Amino acid sequence: MTSAFEKVAKSVTQEVGGSRRDLIPVDSLWNSITFKPYCLLSRRLSTSWFWKPRYTCVHLSIKDILEPSAPEPEPECTDPFKVSDSVDGNIQGSVALSPMGEGRISGGAAVSGSSSVSMKMCILSVNPNIWEIMRRERHLQQPENKILQQLRRRGDDVFVITKVLQTKEEVPITDNRSREGTGQFTLPVASCLQGEGKGHQSRKKMVTVPAGSVFAFQVAQLLIGSTWDILLISDEKQRTFEPSSDHRREQDQRRPRFSLLGVLKPRSHPYALVSGKIPEEEVIRKDFRGLYAEVKAGASVLASLEMELRQQLLVDIGRILLDQPSLEALETSLQQGLCSGGQVEPLEGPAGCILQRLQLNSGHVVRRTSATIFYLLGALNVLTETQRQLLAKALEMTVLSKQLELVEHVLKQSTPWKEKCSVSLPSRLLGDSWHEEAPTWVLLEECSLRLQMEPPQVHWEPTSQSPTCALYASLALLSCLGQKPH
């Protein structure tokens, strides 16, 4: 389930960052000790307009790609401030049923939870003037750093961390959850039958975050050509590896871009893998109908595959769901095969098995099927580790369809996505599993949605669009792979 660290990171980021949304919460304790000012992160082009891929650490600092290789100037530090986050909740319910002459059934349940953390923090930030000084005095390494060369070939964008929210001292985090249930029944059969039951479950999570750990970060995009610069104000149309501002339009026209509808329905969407004069995002509906069209097109391709191949793909994808490097390696290979049209280098393990099933004897990939799996991988890589763990379990239990129906309901009812709203959840989609530890609850909560138990509701936030759309596409395509023949 959601890690105690993730919960606190998201809560504290929302509190400190406010409505500006310029701080991005760190998604794991491991990244909290690696994301530092001046560190470089990569972000590949998205497989869909409807979600943005996550930032990935490339284990480089700005000094590793510049000459001379001198230490970076120390970031500025704000005065320490204290942040406290405490949650204490208790929900109870009961039910009684007394059909005439048929006995009595009754039950009750209680769910309680509490979490608390108090920490001293500061904000480390790089003064904007520092970047101008560094740009004048330090130049790109020649030859180019090997990792940077790989990112250039993949078409990934590169960002540098400019600000972090950091702990000043060690932080203990505790998260307690408990559930209780009782039940009684009396049935007037030949001999009166009675029974009762009672249960209790409790769980406690504890994690100690080291001093100097990062809970959130801010980035600026690098622009790399004959010289380098950074983009302090975000511009989604900008790419990292472009020679100069004078050539950006020409470069953009040559740059391969992926569109699932372009690959599967080239007549109606001529912008398949090349960017024309009309940007791709302008020919795609920016609402649920556009997302549904993409997903439906991919699902039709998967449904047309032989049952044995679908099951093999599903098993292998289930095996790499918990292996982020394998997911990213397979996504990179398929991107290379689809966008460059060349032969694809083999991979090891389950990712290699999937790649083999998508390749021709020539080493080239089967275009339509590979495009759909590439689209699915892009969605899966947007999800959190917790969400992928839950999807892996759901694959084993074949319960994806109910979760898919609920996520689809949320996306439909929250349109337009750019406005906050509350979405009521019908009981037929919830069953008896709508509580803080239920898989469906956690899947939605990980999309930064605020959930309510009584009455069942989802409070939509515009920032939840990207992860919720990615979750919908993941559930839909995985469900299609797992469908049995009629």
Enter the tokens of residue 190: 């030949």
Amino acid at 138: R
55: left (phi over 0), alpha (psi -120 to 50) or beta: beta
Residue 191 is predicted with a pLDDT of: 47
Q: What is the mean pLDDT of residues 136-145?
A: 93
Q: Per-residue pLDDT tens for 346-369?
A: 899 999 999 999 998 888 899 999
Q: Per-residue pLDDT tens for 46-81?
A: 889 899 888 989 999 999 999 998 889 999 999 888
Q: Per-residue pLDDT tens for 80-103?
A: 888 876 655 544 444 444 444 555
pLDDT band at 253 (very low <50, low <70, confident <90, very high): very low
CB 73, CB 89: distance < 8 Å: no
Residue 282 is predicted with a pLDDT of: 42
Residue 115 is predicted with a pLDDT of: 60
* Comparison of pLDDT for 340 and 251, the residue scoring more: 340
Q: What is the mean pLDDT of residues 423-450?
A: 89
Rounded to an integer, what distance in angstroms lies between the CA atom of residue 292 and that of residue 313? 22
Residue 463 is predicted with a pLDDT of: 86
Residue 92 is predicted with a pLDDT of: 46
Question: Residue 364 to residues 338, 341, 370: CA-CA distances in angstroms?
Answer: 9, 7, 10
Q: What is the mean pLDDT of residues 463-482?
A: 95
> CB-hemisphere CA count at 13 Å for 300?
9
Question: Residue 197 to residues 95, 185, 194, 200, 336: CA-CA distances in angstroms?
Answer: 14, 9, 11, 11, 59
Residue 30 is predicted with a pLDDT of: 83
Q: What is the mean pLDDT of residues 367-382?
A: 95
33-67 in b/e form (b: 16+ CB < 10 A) is eebbbbbbbbbbbbbbbbbbbbbbebebbbbbbbe
User: What pTM was estimated for this model as a whole?
Assistant: 0.79
Q: Per-residue pLDDT tens for 177-189?
A: 655 555 555 555 4
Quickly list DSSP for 327-354. HHHHHHHHHHHHHH--------HHHHHH
* Comparison of pLDDT for 468 and 204, the residue scoring more: 468
Q: Per-residue pLDDT tens for 259-310?
A: 888 888 765 544 444 333 334 444 467 889 999 999 999 999 999 999 999 9
Enter the tokens of residue 446: 């990980």
Evaluate the omega torsion of the peptide bond into residue 416 and state whether it is cis, within 30 degrees of 0.
yes
* Percent of the chain surpassing pLDDT 90: 46
Residue 93 is predicted with a pLDDT of: 45
Amino acid at 455: P
CB 298, CB 258: distance < 8 Å: no
* Comparison of pLDDT for 385 and 182, the residue scoring more: 385
2: left (phi over 0), alpha (psi -120 to 50) or beta: beta
Quickly list DSSP for 188-206. -SSS-EEEEEEEEEEEEEE
Helix (H) or strand (E) holding 395: helix 385-397
* Comparison of pLDDT for 113 and 147, the residue scoring more: 147
Beta bridge partner(s), residue 104: 186
